[in-house]
Structure 1
């Protein structure tokens, strides 16, 4: 299928389901915002060893842990919109936490961690090889879901390895598909900027606070727009996977 056909299929699946899709995106976004709040990262361990006081800041460790959780939690997008692609739609709450249901948590988590380890090692070499490998492993959560659904035993690198094989010769296609959404992001930021300047012009704000007002309004507008754009992108990627993989991992 062409990119246009994949996007048309995604729109067809989302037709009549936009409220549900936006609800899923909203829950995931709110939880990610709460978890990543800086107020949760001001922790330290203090103690005394052999008469010497010590203090270990856990801020960076917590940031890494929370970053891993947020990224893993976002795998619910892949699971949920692959379900939608296949004609299944759970309720909003279960859909937002779909990576934690139906025996998916452990297989998805293990393959997600290994995927990140491999990508990190490739990025240590050079940025370009790391980027290429990230596209090699991009189908991992979809493959793991299919394997689990079919009752297969899923090893901690099964999805990663299968994704690498599946994406051989198709990485460029996914990269171009991702690029094709850039216009929507640019439009979203442009419209958000115009709204921001329009509102600040109507409301009398001192120059000292104008920068903060612009940033807040643009951030709010982009966030609202993303609640619609993200489901569209995720549904299209799910269609890309199903069109490429078919049912080979469900047999």
Structure 2
């Protein structure tokens, strides 16, 4: 995959949708920060998963107009439990790896990075998702691709520095751009393999 193509696709999808995307990321970040204590921090993680789901929907050529419906898309009946368990387990696993050593924690973060997207695809395909299923599938999917995603992330460093200079306001633009690019990365990598309903 060419990073330039992924970014170009993201910008094309965001054309005419920038205010919507900025509002989604901004309100989502505020909601997540307001629920930062552990007792409700899980809900904040689910909100962030909802934002991730929404950008994958955009990458697939659709759009959830209402940012609150989009932000809380992880709370819908079929996605609620998988979103809750996956977000919680990913945070626990990465934290445990990071406690051991920083580098393994970062590597595992990349291994599990596709889990939210996989949850969305599997849930919308009608599958009952086991607690660690999306994490295991993400680990398999990212085998041999962690360095690729790392380089994609690295390509945003220049933009991140520039975004920080004007009191951090540039992040309002950069966050949707990054989210859309990463959603396109997932779809290019995974294709539709998780969108197919599992036959009985």
TM-score (norm 2): 0.91
Q: 1:101 to 1:186 in 2, by over 3 A?
A: same
Structure 1 residue aligned with 2:183: 238
Instruction: Give 5+ residue unaligned stretches, structure 2.
Output: none
Number of residue-to-residue matches in the alignment: 195
Give the alignment partner of residue 51 of structure 2, picking from 64, 77, 88: 77
Q: Deviations over 1:140-165 (max 9, x none)?
A: 00001100011111000000000000
- The secondary structure found in structure 1 opposite 2:195 is coil
Q: Residues 10-25 of structure 1: matches in 2 within 5 Å?
A: 10-25=10-25
1:27-46 correspondence to structure 2 within 5 Å? 27-36=27-36
Give the drift of 1:102: 5.5
Task: Write out per-residue CA displacement over residues 70-118 of structure 1, whole angstroms, 9 at most, x where no aligned residue.
Answer: 2332112210000001111112221122222352121111112222222
CA distance in 1: counterparts of 2:99 and 2:22, whole angstroms? 37
Of the candidates 103, 106, 114, which is equivalent to residue 89 of structure 2? 114
Query: How many Å separate the matches in 2 of 1:232 and 1:95?
Result: 17
Q: Per the alignment, in what secondary structure is the counterpart of residue 248 of structure 1?
A: coil
Specify which of 129, 143, 158 is matched with residue 168 of structure 1.
Answer: 143
Q: Which residue of 2 aligns with 1:87?
A: 61
Per the alignment, in what secondary structure is the counterpart of residue 103 of structure 1? helix
Distance 1:166 1:31, change over 3 A: same
Q: Which has the larger radius of gyration?
A: 1
Q: Greater CA deviation, 228-237 or 124-133? A: 124-133
Instruction: Report the structure, 1 or 2, having the larger strand content.
Output: 1
CA RMSD between the two structures: 1.6
**C-alpha distance after superposition, 1:116-140 (max 9, x if no partner):** 2222222232111111011000000
Aligned residue in 2 for 1:101: 76
Q: Can you give the 5+ residue segments of structure 1 that lack an aligned partner in the other structure? A: 37-62, 193-217
Shift of 1:229: 1.2
Do the aligned partners of 2:110 and 2:142 also contact (CA within 8 Å) in 1? yes
The residue that corresponds to 1:197 in the other structure is: none
